[in-house]
Amino acid sequence: MSTVYHDTQIENAKVALDAVGVTYGSKTAVSGVSLRIPDRSVTAFIGPSGCGKSTVLRTINRMNDTIDIARVSGSVKIDGEEINSKSVDPVVLRARVGMVFQKPNPFPKSIYDNIAYGPRIHGLASGKSELDAIVETSLKKAGLWNEVADRLDQPGTSLSGGQQQRLVIARAIAVSPEVILMDEPCSALDPIATAKIEELIDELRENYCIIIVTHSMAQAARVSQMTAFFHLGDLVEYGPTEAIFTNPRDQRTQDYITGRFG
Amino acid sequence: MISADRQSAVQKRLLKRYRDEARFRAFGIAAIVFALAMLALLIGSIGSQAISAFSVNELTLQVTLDAERVDPDGDRSPESLRRGSYNGLLQDALRAQFPDVTDRAQLRDLFGLYTPLVAARLLNQVADHPQSVGQTIDFTFPISDHADLYLKGQITGSDSASLSGGFTIARQDGRAMIVSETGAFATVLDAVRADLDLRADALEARAARYETRSEAAGDAARSEQVAGDAETARVQAAALRAQTGDDSGDLELTPQLPSRLVRIAGGFMAIDTISADGRTVSGTFLVSPEADASDEAEILSLSVPQADRRFSDAQIAWTETLVARGLVREGFNTWLFTNADSREPELAGVLGAMIGTVLTIAVTMALAMPIGVFTAIYLEEFAPKNRLTDLIEVNINNLAAVPSIVFGLLGLAVFINTFGLPRSAPLVGGMVLALMTLPTIIISARAALKAVPPSIREAALGVGASKTQTVFHHVLPLAAPGILTGSIIGMAQAMGETAPLLMIGMVAFIADVPSLSLDGLTEPATVMPVQIFLWSDGAERAFEARTAAAIIVLLGLMISFNALAVFLRRRFETRW
C-alpha cells in the first residue's frame, strides 16, 4: 500500500526511476519505485533498516548485477537513456555513476594508485603528467590534498577512517562521473570526520548529482535538497527536504522523522 | 543486593570456570610437549642413524699405470684407453701391500676390500689425463662398505689390550707360534674360558627350554624330536665345560667363538690354540710380521665370532694394517651427493634422485599451479552458481580424498598405455602428481579468494573496473599469499609421494644421473622418496645409514622449499 507523494515540479531530471522493483530470489526487496532526481543537488534516501533504500541506490549503477539472484524490473534512465538495456555496458555506466560505500574501502595500494586506478583502466590520461594532474585535482576536490600531498606513495589504508572515506570519494571523482552514489558514507566515522564529509558533499553538489543513503535524519536535513522516505520496500514520500521534515504528508513519514519507530 | 546464598553460588561457578580454563591450558601444553618430544625422537633417531653415512673411509693406493695394460693399442686414444685393464692394476696395487697373500680364496677376500666399480673411475681419470700413462699415481677411492662399517665399529665390537714381556715367533709345520716366556697370554686364556662358559650357559639354557617344550608337546613324534635337540645342546655344553674345566690341555678357538688376533711386529696372527700355561699361542699369520721377535704385542678381541659376520678376520687384519700404514682416511662422504644409485653402498648417492625430484616437481608445478589457480578463479569468481557447479565442487572435494595410488593407476592406464608416454619418466611422474595435487590447490586457492573482503571487489567495480579487471588487479594479488601457501603444501605433498610413482615405473634401479634439461624429462629417473624406499629394502647393511641420510636430505629439501614459500609470502603480502 504505497501512497507516494511526488513533487512533480522536477523537469529535466538527471536520474529517473520508473516502477523499479528488485527481487532477491523469491523475496521482493523493493517494488514500484518511481523517482525524478535533479542534477547538481543532493538527494537523500532515508528510512528504517531493511526498507530497500540501498537496494534502490544500487540499481542506479547496476551494482545489483553482481549479485546472482538479484532481478531488477522497471526502468532507470540517466539523461533519458535507459541503463538497463542490453546495449549499455555496466562497466562504462559505473564510470559515469561513481559510488562510495559504507565502510571506507581504499585499495591496499598507495594513495596515488588508489586515485589513478580508475583513470588508468578507462584510459582517461594520456601521460604521466596528465595522470598526476587528475590525482591532484581529485584530491583537491575531495579536500584531502593538503593532508596527503607529501605522502602519495604511502598505502591508502594507512590513513584515518575519515581520510580514507575522502580518499574513496576522490577516487570516485577521478573518473569524472556525473552521478555519485553514497551508501551511508559516514556511518563508520566519528562526528568530526562526518562534519568534514558533509562539508565536502555540500561543495560537490555544485558539479555533481549526488544521491546519499543515510540513517541519520539530521544528516539528511543538513546536506540534502530532496529527500525520499522508504518503508518496507516502498517509496512512501518524496519531495524537497524542507517539506518532508516540516510538513510530511504521510503518517509513516511523520512517525519516522519524529522518532516513533526506526 | 545479592543474597549471600546467591553470591556463594556465583563464586563457585567462577572458580569452576577458572579450573576448566586451567585444565584446558594444561592439556594444550601437554599435547605440545608430547608432539615436540615425538619430533625430537624422530629427528634424533634418523639423525643418529644417518650420521655414519655422511662420512666415508677412503683408501689411497699407489697405482702404476703400466702402459701395456692401460693402453693396449699404444696410441693413447680414448678407445684404446677404454680397453685397458684397470681393475687388474688396482688388484696389483693391493697385492703389493700384502705380497704374501697368494691363495685364491684369500685373494678373493683381499679384493673384497674395494668394489671393482671404482675401476671405472680410474679409467675416467686416465682418459682425462692420457699423459699420466706409464707413471705411478696416488688413486683414492672409497673402501668397501663392510670395511667402512668395520672401521665405524658397526660390524663387531673390538677391544685391544697391550701385552709386554718379550715375544718370539716360531714356525713349525706351516703353523706359527708366538711364545711368551712370562706367560703373558694367561689373560687371553681367562677371557676365552669366560667366553666358553658364556656359550655353555647359553646352550644349557636352550636345552632347558627344549626340555620343557618337549614335555608340553602333545604329539609324541614332535616331543621326541625336541627332546633330541635338547640332548644335542646338553652334549655340546658339556664338551665346552670339559674344555674350560681342563687346566692342562690346550684351548681351541673355533670360528663360533669371538676371534682374537695378535698384532706383533707389524703382522697379524689369528689365534686358534692357546696353551694351558698361557705361554704359547698358535695360529696363522694373516699379515706377515717384519721381525721374529718383539718386546710388545697387542691382543685384538672381536666380540662377534667370525662365523657370524661377513667380514673375515683376515679382512679385519688387512684393514687394520692399511690404517696403520696411513693409507685409510675418514672424510666427508661426497659420493653421497655426486653419484646416482649404485648396487654398492659406498658408491651410492642421492644426486640422481634429487635431480629426478627437481624435474618431476617442475612438471607438477608447471601443470598444477596454473590449472589449479585458474580453475579456482573461474569457479569462485565467474561460474554461475547452479547444480552443475555444485556437482563439480563436490567432486573436487572428493578427489582430494582419493588415495594417491589410484592416481598412479590412472597415470599408468592413460598416460602410458593410451598416450604411449615413456615409463619411469619425470614427465609422467609430474603429470600424475599434478593430478593428485590439483584438488589441494583448487580448494586452498578458492578459500584464499573467498577470504578477500567483498568491499575490495565493490570498490573496484564501483570505479568501473570490469569483472576480469577486478579479479586480476585487486582480488588475485590479495589472495596470492594464501594461494601460494596452498600450492606449496600441495607441492610438498607431491614431493614426498611414493605410491603413485611406483605404478608408473619410477621405482626402477637407475645408476645414471638424469640430465637437468628438457631431455631429462623423458629419461628414466627416480625421486627421493622412492630412492629411500629402495634403499630401505637394500640387502647391504650400509644402506641402513644411507636410507636415514637420504631421509635427512629429503627433509632438508622440503624445509628449504617451505622456507622459500614463507619468504615469497612475506615478500608479496599486502595488508588491508
The helix-helix angle for A128-141 and A111-122 (nearest 10°) equals 120
Question: How many angstroms separate the CA of residue A177 from the nearest CA in chain B?
Answer: 9
CA-based nearest residue in chain B for residue A93? B464
Contact A226, A239 (CB under 8 A): yes
Question: How many angstroms separate the CA of residue A251 from the nearest CA in chain B?
Answer: 36
CA-based nearest residue in chain A for residue B454? A105
Say how many Å lie between the first and final Cα of chain B, rounded.
49
pLDDT by 10s per residue, chain B, length 576:
667 888 888 999 999 999 999 999 999 999 999 999 999 999 999 999 898 889 999 999 999 888 888 888 878 888 888 888 899 999 999 999 998 888 898 899 999 999 888 888 888 888 888 888 888 899 999 999 999 999 998 888 888 888 888 888 888 777 888 988 888 888 888 888 888 888 889 888 988 888 888 888 778 888 888 888 888 888 888 888 887 776 667 888 888 888 999 999 888 999 988 888 888 888 888 888 888 888 888 999 998 988 888 899 999 999 999 999 999 999 899 888 988 888 888 889 999 999 999 999 999 999 999 999 999 999 999 988 889 999 999 999 999 889 999 999 999 999 999 999 998 899 999 999 999 999 999 999 999 999 999 899 989 998 889 999 999 999 999 898 889 888 888 898 899 999 999 989 888 888 888 888 888 898 899 999 999 999 998 878 889 999 999 999 999 988 888 888 888 788 877 554
Handedness of CA B46, B51, B57, B58 (dihedral sign): positive
Residue B463 to residue A157, Cβ atoms within 8 A = no
Residue B462 to residue A92, Cβ atoms within 8 A = no
The predicted structure's pLDDT at residue A135: 94
* Three-class SS of B136-174: EEEEEEECCHHHHHHHCCCCCCEEEEEEEEEEEEEEECC
Residue B462 to residue A94, Cβ atoms within 8 A = yes
Q: For residue A66, which residues of chain B lie inside 8 Å, CB to CB?
A: 457-458, 461
Residue B458 to residue A92, Cβ atoms within 8 A = no
CA distance A200 to A194: 10
Helix spans in A179-249 (H): 191-204, 217-223, 241-246
Question: How many angstroms separate the CA of residue A221 from the nearest CA in chain B?
Answer: 27
Q: For residue A174, which residues of chain B lie inside 8 Å, CB to CB?
A: 463
Residues contacting residue B374 through CB under 8 Å, at least 6 positions apart: none
Contact B289, B266 (CB under 8 A): yes
In the CATH hierarchy, which fold is given to the domain comprising B347-572?
Answer: MetI-like fold (1.10.3720)
Residues contacting residue B559 through CB under 8 Å, at least 6 positions apart: none
The predicted structure's pLDDT at residue B6: 86
Contact A246, A37 (CB under 8 A): no
The pLDDT of residue A233 is above 70:
yes
Residues contacting residue A186 through CB under 8 Å, at least 6 positions apart: A165, A193, A194, A197, A198, A214, A216, A219
The pLDDT of residue A2 is above 50:
no
Indicate the CATH number of A15-257 among 3.40.50.150, 3.40.50.1000, 3.40.50.300, 3.40.50.1820: 3.40.50.300
Residue type at B285? F
Confidence band of A1 (pLDDT split at 50, 70, 90): very low
Residue owning grid cell 676365552? B192
Q: For residue A121, which residues of chain B lie inside 8 Å, CB to CB?
A: 463-465, 469, 473
Contact B436, B404 (CB under 8 A): yes
Contact B443, B400 (CB under 8 A): yes
On the CB side of B102, how many CA atoms lie within 13 Å of its CA? 3
Q: For residue B458, which residues of chain A lie inside 8 Å, CB to CB?
A: 63, 66, 99, 101, 105
Contact A216, A186 (CB under 8 A): yes
Residue/partner pairs of A84-93 with CB below 8 Å, 24 or more apart: A90/A61, A90/A62, A90/A65, A91/B464, A91/B465, A91/B466, A92/B464, A93/A61, A93/A62, A93/B464
- Nearest to residue B509, comparing CAs of B389, B386, B356? B356
CA-based nearest residue in chain A for residue B384? A68
| Planar angle of CA A22, A28, A30, nearest 5 degrees | 50
User: How does the average pLDDT of chain A come out, rounded?
Assistant: 89
* Mean pLDDT along residues A1-20: 69
Say how many Å lie between the first and final Cα of chain A, rounded.
19
Please give the DSSP secondary-structure letter assigned to residue B540.
Answer: S
Instruction: State the cell numbers at B479.
Output: 589472495
Interface test with B, best of A57, A65, A83, A91 (most B CBs within 10 A): A91
Q: What phi, psi does A141 have (nearest 5°)?
A: -60, -35
* Mean pLDDT along residues A9-18: 79
CA-based nearest residue in chain A for residue B453? A105
The pLDDT of residue A82 is above 80:
yes
The predicted structure's pLDDT at residue A49: 87
CB atoms within 10 A of CB B524: 19
Q: Give the residue extent of every domain in chain B.
A: 4-51, 54-151, 158-308, 347-572
Residue A108 to residue B466, Cβ atoms within 8 A = no
The predicted structure's pLDDT at residue B247: 67
Residue A94 to residue B459, Cβ atoms within 8 A = no
pLDDT exceeding 70 applies to what percent of chain A?
A: 95
Q: What phi, psi does B318 have (nearest 5°)?
A: -65, -45
List, as one string, the DSSP characters of B343-379. SSGGG--SHHHHHHHHHHHHHHHHHHHHHHHHHHHII
Contact B463, A117 (CB under 8 A): yes
Residue B464 to residue A92, Cβ atoms within 8 A = yes
Q: Tell me the per-residue pLDDT of A125-175, one tens digit each, with 9 for 90 and over.
A: 888 999 999 999 999 988 899 999 999 999 988 999 889 999 999 999 999
Residue type at B343? R
Asked if A222 has any chain B CB less than 8 Å from its own CB, the reply is no
Q: For residue B576, which residues of chain A lie inside 8 Å, CB to CB?
A: 108, 157
The predicted structure's pLDDT at residue B344: 87
Residue owning grid cell 574513496? A168
CA-based nearest residue in chain A for residue B381? A66
Q: How far is CA B432 from CA A8, B125, B418, B528, in A?
A: 70, 41, 14, 16
The predicted structure's pLDDT at residue A9: 58
The predicted structure's pLDDT at residue A6: 58
Q: What was the ipTM of the complex prediction?
A: 0.87
CA distance B303 to A193: 88
Q: Which of A105, A118, A121 minimises the CB distance to B456?
A: A105
Asked if A157 has any chain B CB less than 8 Å from its own CB, the reply is yes
The pLDDT of residue A4 is above 60:
no
Contact A40, A72 (CB under 8 A): no
Q: Which of B384, B464, B469 minimises the CB distance to A175?
A: B464
Asked if A67 has any chain B CB less than 8 Å from its own CB, the reply is no
Q: For residue A172, which residues of chain B lie inside 8 Å, CB to CB?
A: 462-463
The predicted structure's pLDDT at residue B574: 59
Q: For residue B457, which residues of chain A lie inside 8 Å, CB to CB?
A: 66
As a whole number of angstroms, the longest Cα–Cα distance in chain B is: 116
Residue A91 to residue B384, Cβ atoms within 8 A = no
Asked if A99 has any chain B CB less than 8 Å from its own CB, the reply is yes
The predicted structure's pLDDT at residue B576: 45
